[in-house]
């Protein structure tokens, strides 16, 4: 069983700052972490390896400092790590990111399952997992809360829904995004930390992947972020301790004034 898990390094949400002049995130001096949702994908990949055998390969796209996130994944239990880094990848939206990851996965080859966290906390689009599957032309499903069984080149799983869950039977290879209900991520072990220091890091560039510069990074992104800003906090409010009928009348009159 060959499992690939795609991870992302993101700014720690408690440390996010925005430059008021450029309206962009200030990344200098801000601690970065593995995207929290991706920790569940890493854990599930390791559990599948422990149950069915095989290996787990972690792939991430970003600047050189993403190496720390990849090595942390080794400390948790990942076997191989690959960093996709190139200035030509800069500014990629979810489409260009998906394409780049898909080409890297093709280069790895021989995969059975590709795992992703539900979404990244800095973008919240949940588009990269399905995008990678589309570029690869393989089945995909999101919001997976449980993997029941893998047998005869098929995977049976439960997909979380608002009113319960769907039980799906999907052929492999397949791409899956998981939710936090699927497991409890383990902490890095002492042996894992030692392995993380000596594990070879493969570094692939756009040239290594044979990618057209017009289809990656900012050049290949159909969407672009024009502005990032902190929303104004409005603390205006009223407190009333009245019977329900009177509260409804007050609310009705206020909405009426607002033209609602």
Whether 248 is covered by a domain: the verdict is no
* Residue 224: other Cβ atoms inside 10 A: 8
Q: Would you call the peptide bond into 173 cis, given omega within 30 degrees of 0 as the criterion?
A: yes
- Rounded average pLDDT over 233-247: 82
Domain region containing 108: 2-230
Average pLDDT, the chain: 91
Whether 257 is covered by a domain: the verdict is no
Per-residue confidence at 208, pLDDT binned at 50, 70, 90?
very high
Question: Distance between CA atoms of 101 and 135, rounded to whole angstroms?
Answer: 9
pLDDT, tens digit, for every residue of 2-44? 999 999 999 886 656 666 665 556 666 678 899 999 999 999 9
- DSSP type of residue 220: T
Whether 50 is covered by a domain: the verdict is yes
CATH assignment of the domain containing 214 = 3.40.50.620
Q: Beta partners for 116?
A: 6, 177
pLDDT, tens digit, for every residue of 91-130? 899 999 999 999 999 999 999 999 999 999 887 889 999 9
Whether 252 is covered by a domain: the verdict is no
For tokens 């440390």, name the residue.
15
Whether 260 is covered by a domain: the verdict is no
H or E segment to which residue 108 belongs: helix 94-108
For residue 161, pLDDT beyond 70? yes
Contact by Cβ (8 Å): 52, 150: yes
Whether 240 is covered by a domain: the verdict is no
Whether 259 is covered by a domain: the verdict is no
Question: Distance between CA atoms of 188 and 199, rounded to whole angstroms?
Answer: 15
Whether 238 is covered by a domain: the verdict is no
Number of domains in the chain: 1
- Rounded average pLDDT over 155-173: 96
């Amino acid at each position: 069983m060959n499992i690939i898990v795609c991870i992302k390094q993101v700014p720690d949400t408690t440390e996010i700052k925005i430059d008021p002049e450029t309206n962009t995130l200030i990344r200098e001096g801000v601690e970065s972490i593995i995207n929290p949702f991706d920790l569940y994908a890493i854990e599930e990949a390791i559990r599948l390896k422990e149950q069915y055998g095989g290996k787990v390969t972690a792939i991430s796209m970003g600047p050189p400092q993403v190496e720390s996130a990849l090595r942390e994944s080794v400390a948790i239990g990942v076997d191989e790590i690959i960093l996709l880094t190139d200035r030509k990848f800069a500014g990629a939206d979810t489409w260009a990111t998906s394409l780049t990851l898909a080409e890297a996965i093709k280069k790895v080859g021989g995969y059975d399952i590709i795992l992703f966290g539900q979404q990244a906390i800095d973008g919240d689009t949940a588009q990269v997992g399905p995008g990678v599957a589309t570029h690869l032309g393989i089945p995909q499903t999101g919001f997976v809360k449980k993997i029941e069984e893998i047998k005869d080149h098929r995977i049976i799983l439960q997909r979380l829904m608002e009113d319960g869950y769907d039980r799906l039977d999907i052929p492999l290879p397949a791409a899956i995004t998981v939710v936090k209900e699927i497991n409890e991520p383990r902490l890095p072990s002492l042996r894992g930390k030692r392995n993380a220091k000596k594990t070879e890091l493969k570094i692939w560039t756009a040239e290594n992947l044979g990618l057209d510069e017009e289809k990656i990074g900012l050049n290949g992104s159909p969407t672009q972020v024009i502005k990032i800003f902190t929303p104004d906090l409005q603390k205006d409010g009223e407190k009333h301790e009245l019977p329900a009928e009177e509260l409804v009348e007050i609310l009705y009159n206020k909405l009426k004034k607002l033209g609602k």
